[in-house]
Amino acid sequence: MAAVLEFKNVNYTYPDRKEAALKNINFTVEKGEFVGIIGPNNAGKSTICRTTNGLIPNSFGGELKGSIFVNGENINDKKTALLAQRVGMVFSDPEAQLSQMSVWEEISFGAANLCVPKQEIFSRLENVLKLLKIEKLRDRSPFELSGGEQQRVAIASVLAMQPEILVLDEPTSNLDPQGTEEVFAAVKDLNKKSNITVVIVEHEIELLAEYADRIIFMNNGEIVLNGPPSEVFHSIDIFDQAGMNIPQVTETAYILDKTYKKWGNAPYPMTVDEAYEKFSAIK
């Protein structure tokens, strides 16, 4: 498998800041993977996202050391606009990302800025409308939609640039539970059915536990844990120290294990279904 995204010894400090926001970051993301990034406030999650499409250092300034590769190509010193078509980025504030008069123009906006021919733009438009199940919203104003719909339009609008990887920075943090569910289902679909590589910063740990192939846990600008969800959520002490939650069923299993010694060697469950199976096994 080929690495779509690779960080090698990346260090970064924002201008006028003493403490580094990223400290010696190393990780790779393989093609088709679904990677979740979690961590407490100010851990550096957004900062990582911004380095993947050149917003750091192009727009933010500051000092970026180390190398970042997209599909094997070093992207240091590349312009944001050039990277825009390689790394699609979605942010948490749905309204602030939208600027056009109708959903279809919103989706075509990025591709038009890249001077993609009109016929090609329209065929991509049809395609992403279908992928995100927003065909019906086509002629609506993006500002009249629900948060979940707006976020799906935002995702569609970067997908129309046909990026090699989709990076989402807390796409559900401004949404109600229904919107969160909608967006998550859409992202999961893109990943599982269309094989789009996804890197997502998310605090809905339960959802990540269910869908992510791998979870990266950050704290204080460093990567503390990096592995499959079952492994990462097993390190409950680290989550406790950072004041973070783990899935409730995982915590329940942990308590059963530590307090009542009723668990054995099996990994802790992460989803309700898994928990049901494993909890019914202990009598």
Ligand X SMILES: Nc1ncnc2c1ncn2[C@@H]1O[C@H](COP(=O)(O)OP(=O)(O)OP(=O)(O)O)[C@@H](O)[C@H]1O
Q: Interface with another protein by CB under 8 A: which residues? A: 50, 53, 55, 58-59, 79-82, 84-85, 88-89, 91-93, 95-97, 99-101, 105, 108-118, 121, 141, 143-144, 154, 157-158, 161
* φ, ψ of residue 195 in degrees (nearest 5): 60, 35
Among 10, 25, 43, 215, binds ligand X (CB under 6 A): 43
Nearer to ligand X, 173 or 271 (CB): 173
Which amino acid is it at 8?
A: K
Among 7, 34, 35, 46, binds ligand X (CB under 6 A): 46
Which residues are registered as beta bridge partners of 5?
29, 70
Q: Which does 215 bind (CB under 5 to 8 A by kind): another protein, ligand X, Mg ion, none?
A: none
CA gap 12, 143 in Å, rounded: 35
42 near ligand X, judged by CB under 6 A: yes
Nearer to ligand X, 147 or 269 (CB): 147
**Collapsing DSSP states into helix, strand and coil, what is residue 37?**
strand
Question: Using CB under 6 A as the criterion, what x/- string covers residues 53-72 for binding ligand X?
Answer: -------x------------
DSSP annotation of 22: E
Axis-axis angle for helices 147-159, 103-113 (nearest 10): 30
Among 36, 39, 94, 163, binds ligand X (CB under 6 A): 39
17 near ligand X, judged by CB under 6 A: yes
Among 5, 47, 211, 268, binds ligand X (CB under 6 A): 47
41 near ligand X, judged by CB under 6 A: yes
**Closest by Cα among 102, 100, 108, 104 to 141:** 102
CA gap 247, 210 in Å, rounded: 10
Nearer to another protein, 111 or 236 (CB): 111
Nearest position to Mg ion, beta carbon: 46
* φ, ψ of residue 7 in degrees (nearest 5): -105, 130
Could you tell me how many residues of this chain bind ligand X (CB under 6 A)? 12
* φ, ψ of residue 143 in degrees (nearest 5): -85, -5
Shortest gap between Cβ of 231 and ligand X (angstroms)? 22
45 near ligand X, judged by CB under 6 A: yes
* φ, ψ of residue 216 in degrees (nearest 5): -110, 125
Shortest gap between Cβ of 215 and ligand X (angstroms)? 14
CA gap 4, 124 in Å, rounded: 22
Q: Which does 47 bind (CB under 5 to 8 A by kind): ligand X, another protein, Mg ion, none?
A: ligand X
Shortest gap between Cβ of 11 and another protein (angstroms)? 21
Q: Dump the DSSP string for 173-226.
A: TTS-HHHHHHHHHHHHHHHHHH---EEEE-S-HHHHHHH-SEEEEEETTEEEEE
Q: Which does 42 bind (CB under 5 to 8 A by kind): another protein, Mg ion, ligand X, none?
A: ligand X
Nearer to ligand X, 24 or 127 (CB): 24
Alpha helices for 63-139 (secondary structure H): 80-84, 103-113, 118-131
Q: Which residues bind ligand X (CB under 6 A)?
A: 14, 17, 21, 39, 41-47, 60
